[in-house]
Chain A
Amino acid sequence: MSRPGRNIAESEGADPVRILNEINGHPEPVVFRGLCSDWPIVRAAAGGFDEAEQYLVSHYAGAPVTAFFKEPGPEDRIFYNQDYSGLNFRQFKTRLDEVLAQIRQASGQSSPPTVYMGSMALDHCLPGIKTDNSLPTHDFSATVRIWIGNRSRVAAHHDVMDNIACVCAGTRRFMLFPPEQLANLYLGPLDVTPAGQQISVVDPDDPDLKRFPRYADALAHSQWAELEPGDAIYIPSMWWHQVNALSEFNILINHWWRDSPEYMGAPGDVLVHALLNMRNLPQRQRNAWRAMLDHYVFDPPHDALKHIPENSRGILGGADETSARQWRMLLRNKLNR
């Protein structure tokens, strides 16, 4: 199939030990072929489902996991329901060996359900395999997650953290859009989401450009890649990504990290706060706030605070450990009304 956009840049011979440090801060996605092909989980999965299952189950101590189950239907994406008031799958607490048994059972069916265990912390789910099957995350605030499922399509969404995702089993197609393409992606509601962020309602494999004409622009800016077991992809923070797991059995291990101080909270909370307190202001007041936020937060002129003695700039100069404590408490109290 012909695609607009371009292939994601590829990098040869990256060093898995240093890769997080080296890629940290890079503004564009990169694919690393064969970065993790010597991981035991990749080798086991190369021997087929049984071998992968045996590898996983032999290291599984019974920790509860959360899985998604979606009945087969015309909409094969992990998505909203018909009127976007809810979702088209159910989420339940189960066991890893149960998830694997369901994937095995589904593999024989002509129209199988989607079985998907997503984003489980490796430290929780399979702590024993982490050292051999993940990249060193050095001093970053990082989390390593495992994703196991059959064929699935997850609509385009963003993550706040930088990400290196390693395909361990199955073929996975990644389609990425730069953060500023959001208006062209036709994002769904924030109140109900599959995993906390809005998702694009356009089906990238069959886009309805009559209904979603701006999506053509998004496609023109898209970058995509198909990864085989052992390949890895760097997805910079905030890039929209549609991910299709194309095989009957897929495993992915990803690393999320952020290079910002622990005292900083979730930037997405600011969006909600702004929607709550600014969205419905009159336009001229919104303009004033836009100027204020640009000036102090988004694009501060280098001399914005020069006229204030350095020790008295306080929160305007950006939070630090101490001021974050003070302002967090103040905000919390103001929110409770």
Chain B
Amino acid sequence: MTNHTLLDNVTHKDLRVHRDFRPGHGYDVNLARIFPGELPVLQNEYPLFFIKNRDSGNFEPIALFGFTEHENLYLQDGRWDATYLPHTVERQPLLIGFQDQDLDGTPTPVPVVHIDLDHPSVSESEGFPLFLPHGGESEWLERMTAILKTIHEGHKEIQPLSQTLVGMELIESISVNIEFKDGSNQVLKGLYTIDEARLAALGEAALGALHAKGYLQHIYMMLASQPNLEKLIERKNRAVLAEAS
């Protein structure tokens, strides 16, 4: 359940947000949307893929955390076992909303901070305060606001990136059949990655065009993340063996 509302420093003056990375605290997801600007720090932590957005048709980059819908193998003993969190995880329980305001005689959708009041990390007792004693923004909220702005900007990069990669036929669907040590297996579906053969066949002009847009780096970051899939399988194997013993 979600209960999104405009964050304000009167109604929500006593709210705090805790970072308890345990199952049932709002982080039980097996993937998160990520943005091109994050790829350099995320490529060393998570296997990165694309998924297809059915509404927009865009291929959107994601970080994979697990193999079934609510499986997050990075949650360990109340910690998130990685150095960097994707912005869309870190922003929780906050999100961007839009408010129509007239700015200089022009109706303008202005991004404003919303909060999911039903998110398990929200309480009046635990964690970082959202507001200072007299209503100012806490350091934590300032940092989150900056992250929300980065996400807002990041959204605008997805479509051009997707269209370019699709236009150059650089995206391929992958199907991975994974066998775990307890004998169970799982077929990963709906994931897409960079078509390495097509990439290798690109001529100088095409590579130059990708480089000029900064996309060549994105492409190699996505590819460089692939060994993390093995590590994620290892996490799962440790979990299933621990459960079996």
Could you tell me the distance in whole angstroms from the C-beta of B185 to the nearest C-beta in chain A?
A: 53
Which of A119, A120, A123, A335 contacts B136, CB < 8 Å? A335
Tell me the count of chain B residues lying within 8 A, CB to CB, of chain A. 11
Q: Decide yes or no: A121 and B105 within 8 Å by CB, A66-B100, A93-B100, A336-B137 being known contacts.
A: yes
As a 0/1 sequence over residues 111 to 137 of chain B, the CB contacts with chain A under 8 angstroms (1 = contact) are: 000000000000000000000111011
Could you tell me the distance in whole angstroms from the C-beta of A320 to the nearest C-beta in chain B?
A: 25
Q: Chain A residues near B134 (CB, 8 Å)? A: 337
Q: Determine whether the beta carbon of A66 is less than 8 Å from that of B107.
A: yes
Which of B105, B107, B137 contacts A64, CB < 8 Å? B107
Which of A124, A335, A337 contacts B106, CB < 8 Å? A124
| Assembled-state Cα–Cα distance A140/B67 (Å) | 62
As a 0/1 sequence over residues 140 to 176 of chain A, the CB contacts with chain B under 8 angstroms (1 = contact) are: 0001010000000000000000000000000000000
* CB under 8 Å from chain B, chain A span 306-337: 335-337
* CB under 8 Å from chain A, chain B span 58-75: none
Instruction: Check A65 for interface membership: any CB of B closer than 8 A.
Output: yes
Could you tell me the distance in whole angstroms from the C-beta of A193 to the nearest C-beta in chain B?
A: 13
Q: Chain B residues near A64 (CB, 8 Å)? A: 107
Interface centre among B102, B105, B106, B137 (most CB of A within 10 A): B105
Which of A119, A123, A336 contacts B102, CB < 8 Å? A119
For the residues of B in contact with A, the DSSP-based class is: loop
Q: Decide yes or no: A121 and B132 within 8 Å by CB, A93-B100, A336-B137 being known contacts.
A: no
Q: Determine whether the beta carbon of A120 is less than 8 Å from that of B137.
A: no
Q: Chain B residues near A336 (CB, 8 Å)? A: 132, 136-137
Could you tell me the distance in whole angstroms from the C-beta of B103 to the nearest C-beta in chain A?
A: 9
| Assembled-state Cα–Cα distance A121/B132 (Å) | 37
Instruction: Check B104 for interface membership: any CB of A closer than 8 A.
Output: yes
Interface centre among A93, A119, A336 (most CB of B within 10 A): A336
Q: Decide yes or no: A124 and B136 within 8 Å by CB, A66-B100, A93-B100 being known contacts.
A: no
As a 0/1 sequence over residues 108 to 124 of chain A, the CB contacts with chain B under 8 angstroms (1 = contact) are: 00000000000111011
Q: Determine whether the beta carbon of A337 is less than 8 Å from that of B133.
A: yes
| Assembled-state Cα–Cα distance A123/B107 (Å) | 12
| Assembled-state Cα–Cα distance A191/B137 (Å) | 21
| Assembled-state Cα–Cα distance A322/B165 (Å) | 46
Which of B102, B132, B133, B137 contacts A66, CB < 8 Å? B102
Q: Chain B residues near A93 (CB, 8 Å)? A: 100, 107
Q: Determine whether the beta carbon of B136 is less than 8 Å from that of A121.
A: no
| Assembled-state Cα–Cα distance A120/B108 (Å) | 12
Question: Which residue of the partner chain B has the closest CB to A124?
Answer: B106
Question: Which residue of the partner chain A has the closest CB to B136?
Answer: A336
As a 0/1 sequence over residues 131 to 145 of chain B, the CB contacts with chain A under 8 angstroms (1 = contact) are: 011101100000000
Q: Chain B residues near A335 (CB, 8 Å)? A: 136
Q: Determine whether the beta carbon of B105 is less than 8 Å from that of A337.
A: no
Q: Decide yes or no: A337 and B132 within 8 Å by CB, A64-B107, A124-B106 being known contacts.
A: yes
Q: Determine whether the beta carbon of B105 is less than 8 Å from that of A143.
A: yes
| Assembled-state Cα–Cα distance A64/B107 (Å) | 7
Could you tell me the distance in whole angstroms from the C-beta of A154 to the nearest C-beta in chain B?
A: 16
Could you tell me the distance in whole angstroms from the C-beta of B145 to the nearest C-beta in chain A?
A: 12
| Assembled-state Cα–Cα distance A337/B138 (Å) | 8
Could you tell me the distance in whole angstroms from the C-beta of B130 to the nearest C-beta in chain A?
A: 13
| Assembled-state Cα–Cα distance A241/B134 (Å) | 37
Q: Chain A residues near B137 (CB, 8 Å)? A: 336
| Assembled-state Cα–Cα distance A120/B100 (Å) | 14
Could you tell me the distance in whole angstroms from the C-beta of A134 to the nearest C-beta in chain B?
A: 13
Can you name 26 A-B pairs with beta carbons within 8 Å?
A64-B107, A65-B107, A66-B100, A66-B102, A66-B107, A93-B107, A119-B102, A119-B105, A120-B105, A121-B104, A121-B105, A121-B106, A123-B105, A123-B106, A124-B105, A143-B104, A143-B105, A145-B105, A335-B136, A336-B132, A336-B136, A336-B137, A337-B132, A337-B133, A337-B134, A337-B136
